Chain A
């Protein structure tokens, strides 16, 4: 009996919020480390097809992206509606691929260069002709590790 009454008088019931900034900072650092800023604005419409046998691309710094698709509406009067290649943040042709690969390669430490992967982010509606041209160019440039970007079909298990 006396125990309860004693306590109530003394303590002012306040939770210390002093550690709140630390917690928030921790969250902040987590998100800063985990997320990667999208470096390129997509100028072509890319909706990758569905597939089931997927492998994950591990190290982002070892990946270069080749986008293939029809230009988005904003660029259609300039570039037409035929499928185009986008390298980095600008439209390109097949002939620009070797330079693009080389530019990416010099940023990668020498030991890791064999692990460089090209991620082909290709729209599902594009025909194989342009994809084939890109593949041939990649082979000619010695870039043989290729990842056909795809996503998991949500309707299948």
Chain B
């Protein structure tokens, strides 16, 4: 009797037919509850904190690209009003200075972007301006990379290449303490 029972048991198998259903249920649960958040953005390296204000008056005026954004989200670039969409090309011309004009940067390594906003400036505008300035540099890097190495600029380039490019056109952006005229 006992013998035959064990033999029966060995023959028994767990029915795995519902396994797929269980797995499906779990799968659907995870599909519904999770969100693939795309985490993208403009990466910025902030300067270390120091109590005293950096002194930019020592710099030659021709090397400083001053961008001011007021509380009405208007742009003043080197004393002239400008629209955000013109900013990129203007900045590119300033940095590379292809015609060697005497009022633009001496050379890309000396160019400094100075960005100053108001506490009442919209974050959206601020980021758009920052984005344009970054885009100007990205395009310059790309052009240089194509000229020098024959490949488009990307973060996947070998470090030596990137260093060479950034050595020739360094991204120097100084952010001044914002004014406070228009905060709500």
Contact between A146 and B127, CB atoms less than 8 A apart: no
Q: How far is the CA of A82 from the CA of B34 in the complex (A)?
A: 30
**Interface residue? A99 (CB, 8 A):** no
**Which residues of chain A from 42 to 63 have any CB-CB distance to chain B below 8 Å in the complex?**
48-57, 60, 63
Q: 30 A-B pairs, CB-CB below 8 angstroms?
A: A20-B20, A24-B27, A28-B23, A28-B30, A31-B27, A31-B31, A35-B35, A37-B33, A37-B34, A38-B35, A49-B124, A50-B128, A51-B41, A51-B131, A52-B135, A53-B131, A53-B135, A54-B40, A54-B42, A56-B40, A119-B39, A127-B123, A128-B126, A128-B178, A132-B178, A148-B43, A148-B127, A150-B40, A150-B127, A151-B40
**Interface residue? B16 (CB, 8 A):** yes
Q: How many residues of B contact A (CB 8 A)?
A: 49
Known: A28-B26, A129-B183. A49 touches B123 (CB 8 A): yes
- Report A-chain residues with C-beta under 8 Å of the C-beta of B121: 127-128
Q: How far is the CA of A150 from the CA of B130 in the complex (A)?
A: 12
Smallest CB separation, B116 vs chain A (Å): 11
Contact between B122 and A149, CB atoms less than 8 A apart: no
Which of B40, B49, B120 has the most chain A CB within a 10 Å cutoff?
A: B40
- Report B-chain residues with C-beta under 8 Å of the C-beta of A142: 48-49
- Report B-chain residues with C-beta under 8 Å of the C-beta of A129: 119-120, 178, 180, 183
On B, residues with C-beta under 8 Å from A are: 16, 19-20, 23-24, 26-27, 30-31, 33-49, 71, 117-124, 126-128, 130-131, 134-135, 138, 155, 178, 180, 182-184
Contact between A149 and B36, CB atoms less than 8 A apart: no
Contact between B128 and A49, CB atoms less than 8 A apart: yes
Contact between B20 and A21, CB atoms less than 8 A apart: yes
Contact between B20 and A32, CB atoms less than 8 A apart: no
- Report A-chain residues with C-beta under 8 Å of the C-beta of B31: 31
- Report A-chain residues with C-beta under 8 Å of the C-beta of B138: 53
